[in-house]
Amino acid sequence: MPGRRPHTLSLTATERTALEQLVKRPSTTQQLAQRGRIILKADDGKNHAQIARELNISLDMARL
């Protein structure tokens, strides 16, 4: 039985820039920065397994 397909994600250039800045900001909480990195990877077309592997997080975390 095939697994669930991840939702496709498409950020605008403005949204992507804002998210990249948020992830890099030292005052951003680690939880928020991690979610931002997950979203950026998903916008790059990565699937859940690739995101989990590249960010060294669990597959469940990558599915958020």
pLDDT of residue 2: 56
2 within a domain of the structure (yes/no): no
| pTM of the complete model | 0.86
What DSSP state is assigned to residue 22?
A: H
> What's the residue count for the chain?
64
Compute the distance between CA of residue 37 and CA of residue 46 in angstroms, rounded to an integer. 12
Structure tokens at 40: 């950026």
Compute the distance between CA of residue 12 and CA of residue 58 in angstroms, rounded to an integer. 27
The total of structural domains in the chain comes to: 1
Q: What is the pLDDT of residues 3-33, one digit of tens each?
A: 566 567 899 999 999 999 999 999 999 999 9
42 within a domain of the structure (yes/no): yes
Higher pLDDT, 43 or 3: 43
Q: How confident is the model at residue 1 (pLDDT cuts 50, 70, 90)?
A: very low
Beta-carbon count within 10 A of 59 CB:
11
Domain limits for position 46: 13-62
6 within a domain of the structure (yes/no): no
